[in-house]
Structure 1
Amino acid sequence: MDPRIREHARTVADHSTGIESGDCVVISAPAAAEDLVVALHEECAERGAHPVSINSDSRATRAFLRNHDGDFETPEHLLAMYEEMDVYVAVRGDVNATETSDVDPERNAAYRRAMKPVLQERLSKTWCLTQYPTSGNAQLAGMSTEGYEDFVWDAVSLDWEKQREHQEQMVEILDDADEVRIKSGEETDVTMSLAGNETLNDFGEANLPGGEVFTAPVRDEVDGEVHFDMPLYRQGREIEDVRVRFEDGRVESYSAGRNEDVLDGIFETDEGARYLGELGIGMNRAIDRFTYNMLFDEKMGDTVHMAVGSAYPDTVGEENERNESAEHVDMIVDMSEDSVIEVDGEVVQRDGTFVFEDGFDEA
């Protein structure tokens, strides 16, 4: 076994989740990530925890969704397992990243609605989402398998305390903010209220790799237009050139240059899918290339992302309404050129450079 796999498992167990003696741990992973699952079982054994692994198989998911007839029901047996667990580790790793591309978007939306209670229970526990470097994801990123392995393991093995300190500077700016305005090029100009909400510092805990600060906009106080100029993969299909117009928080119009029907399915999942649940600012300079993998792409420096759908409970203040949805779909804006982030009228990022970084005055 590559020693970096065991290092990856130790980071998940120690830094990301803090697995302790007696913890009931559920590990969800595809067969291609078997080595990481084995290493995580070793870490659980050393700590006196109780692991159970389940296979997340995209071929099996596709088979179920394409052959299911009638309404979907919440799988109570799966929900019961999540109710009993203490820690959840989700490992991604595709053999074929487009496996579910021929599943009808409306059917997928119906399935996600049925799975909403399972998702909510999972998110109420200690959890970590991470990546195993597979050939399928390497191919999607346009990289060799070995090159992609280096990319993933370098990204998950940062000095996370140093990264936390760097990002905390932006957390302090946003925590005091009432209003944020994001402008990029001629097609993105959106304003949103953050008043009363909390900003979180993601330094490799719930997401590994980490590398962003994120919060929730006030549900009904987002106005403007956004051109999400970086593509995303959803349901095994590439959605690109997305344009969205917000009025009073709600998505009132949208378009996509490719696979707009997938976007239709997302926004039609439920009413909450038409509101923003997250504003995130990428701050991980070690992730320096786009790989068609949102776990990495949303953390890149020089980017912001906005997620339609559910808001994380810890980001929403007691006086504000939390947006709820069966969806949470991140989309990215490139902020490297002709772009600014303004907080209460003051520019805090210009062309990707933050006010607390060298070169801001020259940007």
Structure 2
Amino acid sequence: MIDKEKLEIWAGFLLDHSIGGVTSDDRVMIKGEAVCWPLMAVLEQKVIEAGGVPDLHVVAPNNERGRVWSAGMARYASEEQLGRIPGWHRDRYDSMTKYVEVLGAEDPKQFMGLTADQSQSLAAADRPFADIRLSRPWVITLYPTEASA
């Protein structure tokens, strides 16, 4: 467990240095698995205290990095199903001004073992959202988990 003071310092570096600070004009997506919650909660608090609006995107454990679809969709869905990305998903990403992604997996086996075709299908579906993220201030950080030890 990382103590709160260290989490606050870490969050400060991510928000103040890496994405250039937070203002009342910002809507900041904070994305990560539940196992990363201690840092995500501190980030949320700091965004609010800075006057911004946080949008917490808690990622399912079978979804590598919060892609538009999970490994389950990659394994079992048709190409047609993979193409049915809800409009609200794009609207959510479009409404953000900054992005913080906290990488850490509780059980990476849940999204491993995809075929090359399945991985390519997931990447293709997610590409428009990656492009949105990359067009704005963003940062990725690694959160230590037992699974990654």
- 1:99 lines up with 2:110 in the alignment: yes
State the Cα deviation string for residues 98-145 of structure 1 (Å, max 9, x = none).
33222222012022112211111111011111111111111xxxxxxx
Q: Please, what is the CA RMSD of the aligned residues?
A: 1.7
Aligned partner of 1:184 in structure 2 is none
Q: Which residue of 2 aligns with 1:73?
A: 83
Superposed counterparts of 1:325-340, under 5 Å: none
Aligned: 1:33 with 2:43: no
SS of aligned partner of 1:55: strand
**SS in structure 1 opposite 2:17?**
helix
Q: Which has the higher strand share?
A: 1
Hey, what's the Cα distance between the residues in 2 that align with 1:69 and 1:55? 25
Give the deviation of 1:74 after TM superposition. 6.3
Equivalent residues in 2 for 1:178-257, closer than 5 Å: none
Q: Deviations over 1:26-55 (max 9, x none)?
A: 111100001111100111121000001112
Q: Which amino acid aligns with 1:12?
A: L
Structure 1 unaligned blocks of 5 or more: 139-363
Give me the whole-angstrom Cα distance separating, in 1, the residues matched to 2:90 and 2:32.
17
State whether structure 2 residue 123 is matched by structure 1 residue 112: yes
- Work out the CA distance in 1 between the residues paired with 2:6 and 2:73: 35
The structure-2 alpha-carbon separation of the partners of 1:116 and 1:74, relative to structure 1 and needing over 3 Å to count, comes to: farther
Q: Who is 2:14 aligned against?
A: 12
Equivalent residue letter for 2:83: E
Within 1, Cα distance between the matches of 2:128 and 2:25?
Answer: 25
Q: Which deviations, in whole Å up to 9, do the C-alpha atoms of 1:159-206 show, x marking residues without a partner? A: xxxxxxxxxxxxxxxxxxxxxxxxxxxxxxxxxxxxxxxxxxxxxxxx
Q: What number of residue pairs does the alignment pair up?
A: 138
**Higher helix proportion (structure 1 or 2):** 2
What residue in structure 2 maps to residue 45 of structure 1? 48
Structure 2 partner of 1:87: 98
Give how far 1:97 is off: 2.9
Letter in 2 for 1:73: G
Separation in 2 of the partners of 1:53 and 1:43? 13
- Gaps (5+ residues) in structure 2? 64-69
Cα separation, 2, equivalents of 1:118 and 1:107: 18
Relative to the length of structure 2, the TM-score reads: 0.84
Equivalent-residue separation in structure 2 for 1:59 and 1:78 (angstroms): 18
Alignment partner, residue 203 of structure 1? none
Amino acid at match of 2:121: A
Residue of structure 1 in register with 2:144 after alignment: 133
CA distance in 1, matches of 2:23, 2:90: 23
